[in-house]
Amino acid sequence: MARRPLPRILSNGSAQLARSRELARTAADSATDVLHPLITITRGLRRLASAGRRRWAETPKDKRGPLLFLVASVILVVALVPYGPLLAAITLMAAAAWHGRDRTPPAPDGPDESQAQRLKSLYEALVPYFSAAEDPEPMYSHGGDWEKALTSYDFDASGRVTRLVIDYPAYFTDGEPESRARIEQLLSSKSGRGREYHFDWDEEGNQLTVTVLAPLPADIPAQRFVTAPGETVLGFTDPTEVQRTLPLTYGEEQHDIPPVVWRTGLRSTEPHLLALGQPGSGISTLLRSIALQALQHGDVLIVEGGGTGEYACLTGRDGVLAVECALAGALTSLEWAAHETERRLIAVNRARQAGHPPPEDTKRPLWILLDRPTALAQVAAAEGHKDPQSLLQVPLRHGRAAGVTVVVAEQFDTMDALSDAVRQHTRARVVLGPATAAQLEHYLGAPPRTTPVSHVPPGRGYARLGTGPVLRLQVPATPDPYDDATADSHRQAVMDLLPPHTTPGDEEAEGPADALTEPTGGPETEVPPDTTPEPATTLRPTLDKPDPVPAKAAVAETS
């Protein structure tokens, strides 16, 4: 039998549910106001009954008989006295109303003495910035009324400010980044260091809202994320910054966490990524997380310039074309990637000219991950070889049309050694680890809306995709499973995401070294005579060798 489809919610269903929920809430509030005396008396009767049961349980057994006789005598006297039952009922209701009253202490109308002193100190510190000698009625003045300027405030259990709304005069230059930075620095230092503050400037209303941000969860392990093909989860951010959440499992419960999603492919405006940080900031963790997600739908080529073996767990896995650490293997692999990009461009262009869909061997995404390429550039310069970064020009410039994505990770101190092509074409940026506001603005192209702190966990930083806002970022925990310092739970989470090993029976007759080193057109890579390229992981059989067409001819034909 054909299964009947489930009824779909109408387009205005959410609005109707919201109105119904609001009507139900209003009706409940009205009923509570009308029935408040009855609720109070019922609560008092319940408390009196509980007190009676407790009194009866505390009475010794040998004294319970006289107590029952005394209670029965009182009831008999009340029943015989004129208007006795009515007076007893009134007395009982009055006692129930007294015991059923709301005993919650009222909230204080204003801040206590210590909180008021803290707010007054903030007000006095803002006077030099929010006052002018020409103002006949200044809002900010030494010894002035701080309650007119600091209109709303919240404090935590320790007495520090967690939320503050500040009114400032209209002549303050809130449109200048320098003026804003001075106020933000002052408030972050006066309100308490070691916390991240979010500043929301309302230029139309002349209001500044300061909010203390909660720390991002740093214990989210690597897992399968609910994303579409072409979407990569870089990490997680604040719920107020994005309008999407992902169901994640960490700890013993499932949570909905807002992610930072990077979109790649033909319609991506930021097809390549540059990740920067200091040693130990979690750059390798980010690249491992990206590689595990990319292997679900594409192939990955990894070049590690540091030579620390951070990606040894990916060697020989399905979809991993190569994991290169030596200069010769890196040059050979990157040259093959450049020629593969050209081949895909030519194949796609010929198919479009003939009115056919793109070939199947050009649809599978190719990811090129480079960790510290400047280290290989220094070795290449010392040995007289070309810079490996020069082989990235074609993948960077034409990778979006060919389905090739480049991810480069580098440290702060060697940022200047990156080539111009890498810095110009990597419009998606990630900065991990402790960094100053000036560094974040220099690397990301825009200042963050929060105050960076000096001590952060690994994988904590900021991200900016193209011309979007600067978002706080926490990379999912994706450590090296072969590291002895890795926790067992995180090691097992990474091992569960790794693809199976490529078996020898699945390989082509042509060896992997021959597939990478055989000339395929374009400039040939000079291999040192005393160095033998290390064997790389077998290339997928669907990736044929490109046609022997120079790079300039390929670009001209696609244009």
- C-alpha dihedral sign at 181, 184, 187, 189: negative
State in Å, rounded, how far the first CA of the chain is from the last one: 54
* 283 appears as a binding residue in the annotation: yes
Identify the CA nearest to 149 among candidates 133, 165, 172.
165
138, 144 Cβ separation under 8 angstroms: yes
Residue 265 identity: G
Q: Tell me the three state secondary structure of residue 283.
A: helix
DSSP H stretches of helix in 243-392:
283-294, 327-353, 373-383
The 161-167 sheet, strands edge to edge: 150-155, 161-167, 207-212, 197-202
Residue with tokens 């160095």: 531
Q: Tell me the three state secondary structure of residue 259.
A: strand
* 110 appears as a binding residue in the annotation: no
Residue with tokens 């006789």: 69
* 82 appears as a binding residue in the annotation: no
DSSP codes, 96-139: HHHHTS--PPPPPSS--HHHHHHHHHHHHHHHHHH--TT-SS-S
Q: What is the DSSP letter of 390?
A: G
Quickly count: other Cβ atoms within 10 Å of residue 429's Cβ: 21
Q: Tell me the three state secondary structure of residue 343.
A: helix
Q: H-helix or E-strand containing 304?
A: strand 299-304
* 282 appears as a binding residue in the annotation: yes
141 burial (CB, 10 Å; 0-12 / 13-18 / 19+) is: middle
* 280 appears as a binding residue in the annotation: yes
* 279 appears as a binding residue in the annotation: yes
Q: H-helix or E-strand containing 38?
A: helix 36-58
| Dihedral pair phi/psi, residue 131, rounded to 5° | -130, 155
Numbered residues of the known binding site:
277-284
Numbered residues of the known binding site for ATP:
277-284
